[in-house]
Amino acid sequence: MSAAAEPIAILYSDEHYVVVDKPAGLLVHRTAVDARERHSLLQALRNQIGCRVYPIHRLDKATSGAVVFALHGDAANRLSRAFREERIDKRYVAVVRGWAPEQAVVDWPLRDPVDPRAQPRRAEPRPAVTELRRLALVELPVAVGRYATARYSLVASRPRSGRQHQIRRHLKHLRHPVIGDANYGDLAHNRFFRNTLGVGRLLLAATAIGFEHPYTGLAVRVRAPLDDSFRRVVQELGWQAPTGDDDAAEFLARP
C-alpha cells in the first residue's frame, strides 16, 4: 500500500490554511526531477478535501511531519513571505549515530544541492544555522561499525534558516548523521536499524510548526505526533517522548 493510500491526517485548518501530517515516503509535490512519482501529498490532500491547495514549503520525501498548505493564492503569498524572511518556527526530532552534544548551535553555510541537468554551476554557500539539543542516549552491546558497542542519540532541532537538507547536513557536519539517511548517513548503522528493528526510513520528523497568522495576527502552533514506525524505534531503544515540564519538552515548546 502506498503512503498516499491512507487519508491524510489534518492537524489544523481554517479558511486560509491547512496543516497536515505528511507520511514518510511521500513527496510534498512533484517537480521536474520527480516527474515519474505517481503520488504526492498535494494531490492526495486536494482529492481528500475537494479543493485546490497551494504548497508553501516542503519536507524531504523521506521526512514525516507537519506541512502547511494555503487554500487560496493570497494566503499562499502572505505565508510564503514569512518563510522567505525566516519567521517560521520549525521543530524536528531525529535519531542519530553517536552521542550528540547536550546542546549546540551549528552555524555552517550550505550550498544548495544542485541538479546538474538543471543548473551545472554551484551557487555560493548561504548562511545556515541550526539549534540542537540532545533528548536521550543509548549504548547497545552490538558491534555495528569499528567499535564494540553502538551509540545513538535522540535529538531535537530547530533550524533558524531554511536550506535544503539543512538538518541532515548539519548533523553530518557534527559527525552524528541521521539514521536512515541514504544521502548523508552511515550505511552500516542504517543497515543495522533496517535488519534489526525493521525500520529503513529516515528517522527525522517535523514535530511542530508555528507562525503568526497573516490575517488574524494570532500565534498558530501545531504539533505533529511521531508516527508508528518512529515511535516504535523510540520504544525499542528504551526512550520516552518528552512530557511535562522537563528540559526536552521546554525546548520543543518554547518560541
Catalytic annotation, residues:
60
- The position carrying cell 494555503 is 70
Closest by Cα among 65, 17, 4, 58 to 230:
65
Closest by Cα among 150, 152, 133, 132 to 141:
150
Closest by Cα among 157, 154, 114 to 135:
154
Asked if 186 contacts 145 with a C-beta cutoff of 8 angstroms, the reply is yes
Cell of 33: 526531477
| Torsions phi, psi for 82 (to 5 deg) | -65, -40
In angstroms, the CA 132 to CA 7 distance is 32
- 78 to 10, 70, 220: CA distances (angstroms): 21, 9, 15
- 47 to 1, 16, 86: CA distances (angstroms): 18, 17, 30
In angstroms, the CA 29 to CA 212 distance is 24
